């Protein structure tokens, strides 16, 4: 029986078609097409995607026009079918995708505004999360995501001793707070350090590394996050680590993650590789 054709959505945030980010996008398209993947691209600058979340994101009448709550109103609009057409198009692309590649340069220790706006507007409540369906139980738990990023600084600047600080801390809000929050299986990030100041040889090596990785990307194991089962998942319990989990990890010199560090050292490369966790 023939295997199902896999779908990849590439969300690109770079205004220049001759940029290194565009080259990384092109490598992904070329490599995955040869592997038989179906490719969909959201080139946000080329699309002139509107990154601003506003009342215009619903086409019907607000439920509460006197006190407009964006999360509440877009959730209702998603359920009732009156979200803005550009949001619906992107949500449909996301629904069809098995893998999502987010390709962008690190701007001010985060995403470019146009990509953050894509997240803000496309990841509506109800569609991408609810308070009952988030993290391990998020709607996208059968999908995989990977960020492919470029930096302006050299690799040593993004170390625990570097001027810019630990890259794991920079990646945490994106990989945990946006992707894992909505349920994605998050693959290790592809980080191309300082291509703007690299030689043509080094840039070529970066592209080749990405190509080689893409050949087998579906076989990769996701980055591991602290599972929901380790938390008291209730308002009464405060959604904090269970006492037995704290006790079981009391002697470890490291915390459980960048975010759940328990006042200890952050695990090495915590946001960049799969690792085992102490589970009670």
pLDDT digits (tens, 9 = 90+) for 258-272: 888 989 888 888 888
What pLDDT score was predicted for residue 3?
A: 62
CA-CA distances (angstroms) from residue 183 to 30, 142, 222?
A: 28, 8, 12
CA-CA distances (angstroms) from residue 227 to 11, 49, 131, 181, 183?
A: 27, 34, 16, 11, 11
Residue 79 pLDDT more than 90? yes
Residue 1 pLDDT more than 80? no
Report the mean per-residue pLDDT for the chain: 91
Residue range 7-221 in CATH 3.40.50.300? no
Closest by CA position to 196, among listed 20, 12, 25: 20
Stretch 208-217: mean pLDDT: 94
- The Cβ-side half-sphere exposure at 73, using a 13 Å CA radius, reads 20
pLDDT digits (tens, 9 = 90+) for 51-66: 999 999 999 888 888 8
State phi, psi for 102 to the nearest 5 degrees: -100, 110
Delimit the domains of the chain by residue range. Answer: 7-221, 224-280
Q: Exposed, middle or buried by CB within 10 Å (0-12, 13-18, 19+), for 5?
A: exposed
Residue 78 pLDDT more than 90? yes
What pLDDT score was predicted for residue 150?
A: 95
What pLDDT score was predicted for residue 275?
A: 47
Q: What is the CA radius of gyration of the chain?
A: 20
pLDDT digits (tens, 9 = 90+) for 217-246: 999 999 998 898 988 888 888 889 899 998
Higher pLDDT, 112 or 255: 112
Q: Is 17 helix (H, G, I), strand (E, B) or coil?
A: coil
What is the β-pairing status of strands 185-186 and 7-12?
A: unpaired
pLDDT digits (tens, 9 = 90+) for 110-159: 999 999 999 999 999 999 999 889 999 999 999 999 999 999 999 999 98
């Amino acid at each position: 029986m023939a295997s199902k054709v896999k779908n990849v959505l590439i969300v690109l945030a770079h205004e220049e078609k001759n940029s290194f980010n565009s080259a990384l996008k092109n490598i992904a398209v070329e490599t995955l097409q040869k592997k038989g993947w179906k490719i969909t691209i959201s080139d946000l600058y080329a699309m002139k995607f509107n990154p601003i979340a506003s009342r215009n994101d619903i086409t019907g009448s607000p439920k509460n026009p006197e006190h407009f709550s964006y999360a509440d109103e877009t959730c209702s609009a998603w359920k009732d079918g009156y979200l803005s057409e550009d949001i619906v198009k992107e949500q449909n692309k996301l629904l069809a995708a098995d893998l999502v590649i987010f390709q962008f340069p690190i701007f001010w220790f985060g995403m470019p505004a146009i990509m953050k706006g894509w997240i803000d507007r496309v990841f509506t409540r109800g569609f991408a999360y609810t308070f009952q369906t988030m993290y391990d139980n998020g709607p996208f738990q059968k999908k995989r995501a990977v960020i492919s990023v470029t930096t302006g600084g050299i690799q040593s600047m993004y170390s625990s001793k570097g001027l810019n600080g630990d890259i794991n801390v920079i990646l945490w809000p994106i990989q945990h707070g946006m992707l894992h929050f909505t349920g994605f299986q998050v693959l290790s990030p592809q980080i191309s350090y300082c291509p703007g100041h690299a030689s043509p040889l080094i840039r070529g090596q970066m592209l080749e590394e990405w190509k080689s990785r893409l050949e087998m990307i579906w076989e990769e194991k996701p980055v591991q996050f602290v599972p929901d089962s380790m938390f008291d998942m209730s308002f009464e319990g405060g959604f904090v680590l269970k006492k037995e989990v704290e006790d079981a990890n009391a002697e470890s010199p490291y915390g459980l993650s960048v975010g759940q560090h328990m006042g200890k050292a952050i695990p090495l490369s915590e946001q960049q590789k799969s690792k085992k966790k102490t589970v009670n």
